[in-house]
Structure 1
Amino acid sequence: MNSMEREERIGRSLGELRQTFRSGRTRSVGWRKSQLRALLKMMDENEDQIFKALHQDLGKHPVEAYRDEIGVVKKSASYSLSCVEKWMAPAKGRIPLLFFPASGEVLPEPLGLALIFVSWNFPISLALDPLIGAISAGNTVVLKPSELAPECSAFLAKTIPLYLDSEAIKVVEGGTDIAEQLLQQKWDKIFFTGSPRVGKIVMSAAAKHLTPVTLELGGKCPIILDSLSNPSDIKVAAKRIVGGKWGPCSGQACIAIDYVLVEHKFASTLIELLKKTINKFYGENPKALKNLSKIVNNHQFDRLRNIIEDPAVAASIVHGGSLDEKSLIIEPTILLNPPLESAIMTEEIFGPLLPIITLTNIEESIEFINSRPKPLALYAFTKNEAFKKKILTETSSGSLTFNDCMVQYLCDALPFGGVGQSGFGRYHGKYSFDTFSHEKAVLRRSFFLELEPRHFVVRNYNSLSILDTPRNA
């Protein structure tokens, strides 16, 4: 299929989606609930296929695949199904006495035709979680999976039409050429998950039609690790750091830990605990690592290899560093004080490499973080309430989690999104519904009680000197 034929096909698909939206059927609570139930059924009946696709694309273990992909989607769809009718209901607005007699409300209405771009690192959950929000809000949708996860992309393209309304929800596969053609179209909403570089391209294209955009981007997500005095607390922190760094897709996650800030005196203790925990979680043989996802492709593998083969960076490795190009596996790797100007400390790592940066005093961490772009997520392990307050009030990040990592992503009651270069907009739970909705203000008045003074200016404008004064006086 050549470029012109693809463009015509996209145009026909979008025309059908717009016609469906104009028909009004996606606005009904019945349609929304039926689609959410169908999505849950799809997940239940195709678990094995999803496991297989995720393993082929990313080497994900079934436990990881269920936790980070299937489970996330089921939880999100079930929650939305139980709440969508309440979310749709108009909210009563308090109208000032000046407007008496009158009533007001805020009515959520769907935006229309939405485009969702999916990232490759969580190719199922990052496709279906935003889709749940778009469906709940009553929109029609085009879903563009990532070509870098081809098995998952093919699964979505083949399976979604079997379960969901194919006249309202369509999957469009392809590479950058298809993405560019889609961006040339007019949309009512664009939801993008990916890198800041591509996010700028998406936003630029959206600006031509004044299309609202949600950008879920990345960034370097740090941990502030205070010196914990209780040995059991230190062990728990080490487990959560290892799980948060290497557990989700070998660090190929936008909210994965990018580096750790710790005091000099505590660094050696932390490193030894991390080593023991890594060996316990993943095994001691780098060539037979358990439960560790592979790097997505050769390009990303080479990028990470180049980072740690920089002589100055390689000299800072204190654990790991082994690479297996055939299997695209990189051993969990810890680095101590790599050069701050090196790529590992200036670019988002998106891989299983963990720099540890030492400070004289842990409170210096606030200035360190504030001197860099705002992170998507900030993690802080401390029992010092005064220090917690200082971190809370003196730093800015998409989210802030104390004494744990990654878990904030799973909480539907909290919004997920970035700030600054880590993106803008938010979703999850009710926030997903809001992201794909317009809150329409509705004011209702009667013909009763007409206050004549309101018309004074109109009736007497000729006598008002301010209006008689020439503009060039």
Structure 2
Amino acid sequence: MSDEDSQTQKKVFDAETASSLVKELRKNFGSGKTRSYEWRVSQVKALLKAMTDNEEEIVDALRSDLAKPSLETVVYEIGVIKSSCEGILKELKHWMTPEKVKTSIRTYPSSAEIVPEPLGVVLVISPWNYPMLLALDPVLGAIAAGNAVVLKPSEIAPATSSLLEKLIEKYMDQSIVRVVQGAVDETTALLQQKWDKIFYTGNGKVGRIVMTAAAKHLTPVLLELGGKSPVVVDSNINLKVAARRIISGKWGLNNGQSCISPDYVITTKDYAPKLVDALKTELQEFYGKNPLESEDLSRIVSYNHFARLSKLLNDDKVSGKIVYGGEKDENKLRIAPTILLDVPRDSLIMGEEIFGPLLPIITVNELEESLDVINSGDKALAAYIFTTDKKFKEQFVKNVSAGGLLVNDTSIHVVVDTLPFGGVGESGMGAYHGKFSFDAFTHKKAVLYRSFAGDSSSRYPPYTDTKQRLMKALIAGSFLGILRALFGWS
């Protein structure tokens, strides 16, 4: 066997290798080092330093993987990670402090608290569309909570995946935090292991595979999926601002390749032409008359995704529905921002999450019908509405179930770390960001403290009538009932 073959063989990551890795991390976690506030802070500071020291290299990696504009990388990936680090450093001591809670007369005398403790060894499987942010943000939550972590980044973003491994090896504690690169085989090997939690970001098909694997060990999962996030547009709005915000959420974030990207628009038949004209005007201002040449638009991540999006456009049911865009460059994997009007609800483009730069518009006679359209499908990760009608806004918030709602904007709710970010139904389960990330990787352990004083014979046999009356009163929490039982009052 040649040296090259030997090196290749050593790099094989199978179930046995995965098992050894988990055992190693579980042993290191068992040492207790991750439980200290000082260790957790040191790791968060290390990750913050990694983002600060390597900004240019991160920008280059995401440009290589996605042709992502540097501003999007700096603001929406590096910037958000830094913000998460700073939030943890500010609040972690408070999050780690046990919460004192009240007890009742049933356990008197006693005191109680809820003690946050790390789950153990966790697995984070991250996607390609925000390959830095969606890898490190969950890892930050796991570290803040005191866990050992294995990160499996997406092979579809290979430059970023390699950089993640390099940065984590250089800046973080390798005895607790590890990166495993690879594709389906490596992910399968990891999923065969027993974890204390699995955090997966991606699509529902793989989400089901993750849940099936987790069920073998009764491992809890947090799934960040996606879905068809709707945008309802009323006619009583600032149309220019609304158009710009729809564009920002749809094309300004990864060219539609985002789990919270506006997937389709619902507006009235009468208002649709005005909305289309406004979108056209702003799109030309943002990306010029030849958007395929714009450096401010990400490319489609791979040929497979390019072919999938092309298939949606080639569907006979949407023939003639394109009112703007539609240009494609297969060699450069670029698709221009595309608007389709009056798309049939049984077309291919309405049957799946688009995850690309195509925006279908559905029209209704009355805007209230939009609620029925939305609720007839699966629950989305996000739902958006543009309106100044207070009653309709309240109706939307009350009746539309989605992971999160945003009124008069799109997508930016994701940066508000005092709000939980997560899905519901088909769009996922569980939530993270800010304190919610800490909670996602924490077991809240209930602890009751009692002394040897106040030991009552009423809880022990023989069970006399007086004891029975007393215990019933204790269960009911009735102070008067207790006095009656003790003193034989009628």
- Residue among 371, 396, 407 paired with 1:402: 407
Preserved contact between residue 283 and residue 290 of structure 1 (Cα < 8 Å):
no
- Residue among 327, 330, 337 paired with 1:332: 337
Which whole-Å CA distance do the structure 2 matches of 1:149 and 1:316 have between them? 33
- Unpaired segments of 5 or more residues in structure 1? 464-473
Q: For residue 470 of structure 1, what is the aligned residue in structure 2?
A: none
Preserved contact between residue 236 and residue 389 of structure 2 (Cα < 8 Å):
no
User: Aligned-pair distance for 1:183?
Assistant: 0.3
Which residues of 2 match residues 281-360 of structure 1 at below 5 A? Answer: 281-360=286-365
Q: Secondary structure at the match of 1:401?
A: strand
Preserved contact between residue 225 and residue 427 of structure 2 (Cα < 8 Å):
yes
- Residue among 250, 261, 265 paired with 1:260: 265
Which whole-Å CA distance do the structure 2 matches of 1:337 and 1:151 have between them? 40
User: Aligned-pair distance for 1:4?
Assistant: 7.5
Q: For residue 194 of structure 2, what is the aligned residue in structure 1?
A: 186
Q: For residue 109 of structure 1, what is the aligned residue in structure 2?
A: 117
Which residues of 2 match residues 14-29 of structure 1 at below 5 A? Answer: 14-29=22-37
Q: Secondary structure at the match of 1:257?
A: coil
Q: For residue 482 of structure 2, what is the aligned residue in structure 1?
A: none
User: Aligned-pair distance for 1:277?
Assistant: 0.4
Which whole-Å CA distance do the structure 1 matches of 2:461 and 2:365 have between them? 71
Q: Secondary structure at the match of 1:355?
A: strand
Q: Secondary structure at the match of 1:275?
A: helix
Q: Secondary structure at the match of 2:409?
A: coil
Which whole-Å CA distance do the structure 1 matches of 2:326 and 2:426 have between them? 30
The one-letter amino acid paired with 1:449 is G
Which whole-Å CA distance do the structure 2 matches of 1:287 and 1:376 have between them? 29
Q: Secondary structure at the match of 2:270?
A: helix
User: Aligned-pair distance for 1:342?
Assistant: 1.1
Q: For residue 488 of structure 2, what is the aligned residue in structure 1?
A: none
- Residue among 368, 377, 380 paired with 1:375: 380
Which whole-Å CA distance do the structure 1 matches of 2:432 and 2:122 have between them? 14
Deviating more after overlay: 1-10 vs 296-305: 1-10
Deviating more after overlay: 10-19 vs 28-37: 10-19
Which whole-Å CA distance do the structure 2 matches of 1:249 and 1:37 have between them? 28
Q: Secondary structure at the match of 1:256?
A: coil
Q: For residue 243 of structure 2, what is the aligned residue in structure 1?
A: 238
State TM-score, norm by structure 2: 0.92
Whether 1:420 aligns to 2:428 is no
Deviating more after overlay: 220-229 vs 355-364: 220-229
User: Aligned-pair distance for 1:286?
Assistant: 3.5
Whether 1:213 aligns to 2:218 is no
Q: For residue 395 of structure 2, what is the aligned residue in structure 1?
A: 390
Kindly provide the CA deviation profile for residues 273-307 of structure 1, in whole angstroms up to 9, marking residues without a partner as x: 00010011111113422300000000000000111
Preserved contact between residue 236 and residue 388 of structure 2 (Cα < 8 Å):
yes
Which residues of 2 match residues 34-183 of structure 1 at below 5 A? Answer: 34-183=42-191
The one-letter amino acid paired with 1:68 is Y
User: Aligned-pair distance for 1:173?
Assistant: 0.3
Preserved contact between residue 18 and residue 193 of structure 2 (Cα < 8 Å):
no
Whether 1:443 aligns to 2:412 is no
User: Aligned-pair distance for 1:459?
Assistant: 8.2
Which whole-Å CA distance do the structure 1 matches of 2:311 and 2:283 have between them? 23
Deviating more after overlay: 137-146 vs 12-21: 12-21
Which whole-Å CA distance do the structure 1 matches of 2:355 and 2:315 have between them? 17
Q: For residue 361 of structure 1, what is the aligned residue in structure 2?
A: 366
The one-letter amino acid paired with 2:313 is I
Q: Secondary structure at the match of 1:447?
A: coil
Which whole-Å CA distance do the structure 1 matches of 2:463 and 2:30 have between them? 40
Q: Secondary structure at the match of 2:271?
A: helix
Count of aligned pairs between the two proteins: 458
Q: For residue 471 of structure 2, what is the aligned residue in structure 1?
A: none
Kindly provide the CA deviation profile for residues 189-215 of structure 1, in whole angstroms up to 9, marking residues without a partner as x: 000000000000000000000000000
Root mean square deviation, CA, Å: 1.4
Preserved contact between residue 117 and residue 143 of structure 1 (Cα < 8 Å):
yes
User: Aligned-pair distance for 1:458?
Assistant: 6.0
